[in-house]
Structure 1
């Protein structure tokens, strides 16, 4: 009990630290994010439908964690995702004994919510923004799977999937009130609201990788779990390097922003990204930083014996 309480306190401290870092980042971004994007009524209603689905998935998971609802089809998957994303040290435990249907749902539901959210966030790009988001997370999944080897991937699938749904719910909640008659444009005019939203968005993105590493600690140990999380995060951020070579700096920056979903949609337009005013060096620098993080993560994630042999 004491260990569980200690882990819970540590999780709260980490979450608080991420919010503080998110607030600091938000203060830097805020001057470029003063104008919100207003979506059309159709997009607004689509966001509301997706929001109900995402909230329903979270509620079912939270309720199933404490009631007999877990016996219902699909409830065990929602329960595993909820527990693993909010208490990642229990990810392995929560993913034990799942039926094939539940395992498929742990993949399909978060992936579907992510793709649908990206389509709603970037209606002008069609499926391009969603495709880039999927590619980024596929790279993350491939790196993690290779580094896991023969170990079970379900703990990290549950943790990352649940955290992604939480991120999407926050984004959808905003889009659902951003229509022609929505209240979000008025709220966005308040500096406090802008900073709080940006801080939460940054924190939720970072939390995805925190739970990824934390969920793997029982399987890999602290060092290797941290390495897997860093490697996955690095490859997800290094992906824009290839995009720059294909579509150019302006479109690459916009797509990268929409892929990771940290900043308010259409922020690139306000910072000059849509007009090609952003120097390519800035995006390339971010991609290089992602590559460096990936290399560091892989080195940490390698088994100790493999690392020793490589030095001989």
Structure 2
């Protein structure tokens, strides 16, 4: 059995495992129909445009991997993004010899799509939520870049960016309906569809971090790669949680169900538990503490295996 075959089998096993966990999460969440409200008339059209662009990016990446299209400007970036997100063990080879323009696109295209998708998802109303999301991802990428050190950061960027694009596509499909709120309400009213959707969303989200670690593991080593991802995740949690604690939970979540949909509903329930314990204001600080703990654990793992291959 070749190395590529073993890696592919392992990837399938990981994906199936994540899907099983996602199903468990979906069942635990129950019915969230009350989480969704109406959206502006422009939202579906904006989502359709973004969906078309995202699908075009993925399609170019798929075709460029096997045709001469890879010679076109930007096609190499789309190819690397597709390969790194679906076969992260090939991320390093997929980014070799890329031009500066393609390297910029590796970050700009997924980043721009993420920002635009979040803006559409909140109906261009919750700029606070959008800012917090951007801060989280910026912290994640910045810490990862520092810890990767002398090694090339582009395999990491390609894997994360490609996985983010796939996650955005799932969200945009639902938002492309004529009435996203009605579509989501109908989706949540059907248990099987609800479970499948949440499981897919959970799997794609977690896969972002799995692919990130896998992509840099070839030249950093498995232990150090895990440390990089854990530390970056900790920073991506601690910094936005600090912001939430500073501006107040009520301003972020309170009254925000109409703006941030499922995320707000999950946060609202989480903070509802804290409220029942008479500790609603402490929730963000617990998140800050967890983020700092993850950073420490990640740094320890990176330090244990400091040598770059």
Task: Flag whether TM exceeds 0.5 (same fold).
Answer: yes
- Equivalent in the alignment of 2:97: 97
Q: What root-mean-square deviation, in Å, do the aligned CA atoms of Structure 1 and Structure 2 show?
A: 2.8
Taking structure 1 as reference, are residues 203 and 251 closer, same or farther at Cα in structure 2, changes over 3 Å only?
Answer: farther
Q: Is the 8 A contact 1:160 1:211 kept in 2?
A: yes
Correspondence 1:203-214 to 2 at 5 A: 203-214=203-214
Indicate conservation of the 8 Å contact 2:213/2:225, yes or no: yes
Q: Counterparts of 1:256 and 1:217 in 2: how far apart (Å)?
A: 39
In the TM superposition, 1:1-312 aligns within 5 A as 2-123=2-123, 125-177=125-177, 179=179, 183-252=183-252, 264-267=262-265, 271=269, 279-302=280-303, 304=305
| Contact 1:40–1:180 (Cα < 8 Å) also in 2 | no
CA contact (8 A) 1:227 1:299 kept: yes
- Unaligned runs of 5+ residues in structure 1 are 307-312
The Cα of 1:210 is off from its aligned counterpart by 0.4
For 1:270 and 1:280, the matched residues in 2 are separated by 13
Q: 1:46 to 1:132 in 2, by over 3 A?
A: same
1:101 is displaced (CA, Å) by 1.1
Q: Shift of the alpha carbon at 1:257?
A: 10
- How far apart in 1 are the matches of 2:255 and 2:3? 42
Cα distance change on mapping 1:87 and 1:238 into 2, 3 Å: same
- 2: CA distance, partners of 1:257 / 1:156: 34
Q: Measure, in 1, the Cα distance between the counterparts of 2:195 and 2:76.
A: 36
1:251 and 1:207, CA in 2 relative to 1: closer, same or farther beyond 3 A? farther
Given that 1:250 and 1:273 are in contact with CA atoms closer than 8 Å, whether structure 2 keeps it comes out as no
What is aligned with 1:310? none
Match of 2:221, SS? helix
C-alpha displacement of 1:272: 8.6
Shift of 1:249: 1.9
Deviates more, 1:130-139 or 1:50-59: 130-139
Q: Distance in 1 between matches of 2:257 and 2:204?
A: 15
Kept in 1, the 8 Å contact 2:8–2:87? The answer is yes
| Structure 2 residue matching 1:96: 3-state secondary structure | coil
**How many angstroms apart in 1 are the aligned matches of 2:15 and 2:43?**
31
| 2:230 and 2:297 in contact (8 A); partners too | yes
Q: 1:116 to 1:180 in 2, by over 3 A?
A: closer
Residues in 1 aligned to 2:303 and 2:252: alpha-carbon distance in whole angstroms: 32
TM-score, normalising length: structure 2: 0.88
1:202-226 Cα shifts (integer Å, max 9, x gaps): 1111111101100011111010001
SS at match of 1:66: coil
SS at match of 1:125: coil
Count of aligned pairs between the two proteins: 302
